[in-house]
Copies of this chain bind each other. A is one copy, B any other.
Amino acid sequence: MAEVEAFPVSATDKAVTHLRRLLGSGRLRPGERLKEQELSTEIGVSRTPLREALKLLAQEGLIEVLPNRGARVPLVSESEIDDLFPVMGALEGLAGTRAAAKATDADIDDVRALHYQMAAAWRRRDRATYHRLNREIHDHLLRLADSPTLTRLHGALDARVAGIRFEAEMDGALWDRAMGEHEDMLKALEARNGPALGAVLQRHLETKRETVLAALQEGFAGAGDGQRPV
């Protein structure tokens, strides 16, 4: 067995990872104040690396730090969604264009397999499986685009909406529309038509934007299910 590069995870990385999980899982809710003392003891690092982690996540927009007033989980507003999604659309559009150009036959086979599994989940209205496979397909396409910068930026933006539990709220019409767009994606990818794939992805983002906005208006603002009426 090859010796694994014994890679000392820094306390800052540990804090970043831990905080990401807290934010993504909804343990920290929008508007909530993040106290350094509290978090540092929970995570098991001192305040210095924790503060570094907070600043890093703030730069990504996942939290916001106010001078002398500590960090908060930002409330996600409609205007932020409207700001965010066009940019994600542009990035995914580029990803699609590149992915179609670079995909090997094997890559396309992989995506096709995921696609048909997802279509099956959609037909039986299995939300959880659908969303898992959906994510896998999008990750796959992004990976095919083969651009670290693209992956990094997209990930940063995606993390901001990850807290919104829009999946649960996805209504039938929007879900069908999304599924239809996925059909078009597969066709464009099979035809290795980059511009078409890019265009579909941009349309798809618009559908996602509407889904997220609907969820937001239903009161699923931000991470967690804390605001759920039951």
Residues of A within 8 A of B (CB): 7-8, 10, 12, 48, 51-52, 55-56, 59-61, 67-68, 83-84, 86-87, 89-91, 93-94, 98, 147-150, 153, 157
Query: A52 to B56, alpha carbons, bound, how many Å?
Result: 9
Q: Is the CB of B84 within 8 A of A149?
A: yes
Q: Is the CB of B55 within 8 A of A87?
A: no
Chain B, residue nearest A7 (CB): B67
Q: Which of B10, B56, B89, B149 contacts A83 (CB 8 A)?
A: B149
Query: A8 to B56, alpha carbons, bound, how many Å?
Result: 21
Question: What is the distance, in angstroms, from A156's C-beta to the closest C-beta of chain B?
Answer: 8
Task: Write out the residue numbers on chain B whose beta carbons fall within 8 Å of the beta carbon of A83.
Answer: 147-150
Chain B, residue nearest A84 (CB): B149
Question: What is the distance, in angstroms, from A199's C-beta to the closest C-beta of chain B?
Answer: 12
Question: What is the distance, in angstroms, from A160's C-beta to the closest C-beta of chain B?
Answer: 9
Task: Write out the residue numbers on chain B whose beta carbons fall within 8 Å of the beta carbon of A94.
Answer: 86-87, 89-90
Question: What is the distance, in angstroms, from A144's C-beta to the closest C-beta of chain B?
Answer: 14
Task: Write out the residue numbers on chain B whose beta carbons fall within 8 Å of the beta carbon of A7.
Answer: 67
Q: Which of B67, B86, B147, B150 contacts A147 (CB 8 A)?
A: B86
Question: What is the distance, in angstroms, from A152's C-beta to the closest C-beta of chain B?
Answer: 8
Question: What 6 pairs across the A-B complex have the smallest Cβ distances?
Answer: A90-B94, A90-B90, A87-B149, A83-B149, A83-B147, A52-B55
Query: A147 to B98, alpha carbons, bound, how many Å?
Result: 25
Q: Is the CB of A87 within 8 A of B56?
A: no
Q: Which of B67, B91, B150 contacts A8 (CB 8 A)?
A: B67
Task: Write out the residue numbers on chain B whose beta carbons fall within 8 Å of the beta carbon of A153.
Answer: 87, 153
Question: What is the distance, in angstroms, from A126's C-beta to the closest C-beta of chain B?
Answer: 33
Q: Is the CB of A150 within 8 A of B52?
A: no
Task: Write out the residue numbers on chain B whose beta carbons fall within 8 Å of the beta carbon of A86.
Answer: 94, 98, 147, 150
Q: Which of B12, B67, B150 contacts A55 (CB 8 A)?
A: B12
